[in-house]
Amino acid sequence: MANRRMFAKTIVESDDFLDMGATARLLYYDLGVQADDDGFVQPKRIMRMTGSSTDDLKVLITKGFLIPMDDKVLVVRDWLINNEIRRDRYKETVFQDHKKALRVTKGNQYTLGTTTGTTFGSYSIEENRIEKNRREEDRLEEKSMDRKKELLKQLDDFKDKF
């Protein structure tokens, strides 16, 4: 399991997140830090360590920040937005059955298998990130080509003046 965890500002600065009480927000951070490399976590020990209540946990689940897999395991919905773990440091979760029940949305969030998305059974997180990076590179290359065309047109217009 990685020793470093991150939290995306788009998540922790959202109105939904900031509307929660301080103890629920603290619990989210602690669950995120303690989660395994796929975002799965068992909350009881962490709740005892932080002094959080079951109400804090219920708020996080109700607001959609956590997905309950069963009575003992949760997954952080925005795990893939918050964290990118290098392949050589990644350690797969022990909760394989729960992982197979999840899908990854186009917004890179976990969701239960009832909606469309990509399963983990045939598609790894790393492949998802590679595809995302590839699309970004294609977009940047296309933007660069458009800029080159624009500059060549300006150069032609400039030559025509003289």
Query: Using one digit for the tens of pLDDT, what is the confidence trace for 43-71?
Result: 999 999 989 999 999 999 999 999 998 77
Residue for token pair 């032609």: 156
- Distance between CA 42 and CA 113 in Å, rounded? 21
| CA distance readout (Å), 93 to 70, 108, 112 | 15, 18, 17
Class of domain 9-87: mainly alpha
Q: Residue 10: pLDDT band by 50, 70, 90 thresholds?
A: very high
Can you give the pLDDT at residue 74?
93
Residue 123 has pLDDT above 50, yes or no: no
Average model confidence (pLDDT) for the chain?
A: 83
Other beta carbons within 10 angstroms of residue 139's beta carbon come to 10
Can you give the pLDDT at residue 2?
57
- Distance between CA 31 and CA 42 in Å, rounded? 8
| Higher-scoring residue by pLDDT: 123, 44 | 44
8 Å CB contact between 99 and 54: no
pTM: 0.66
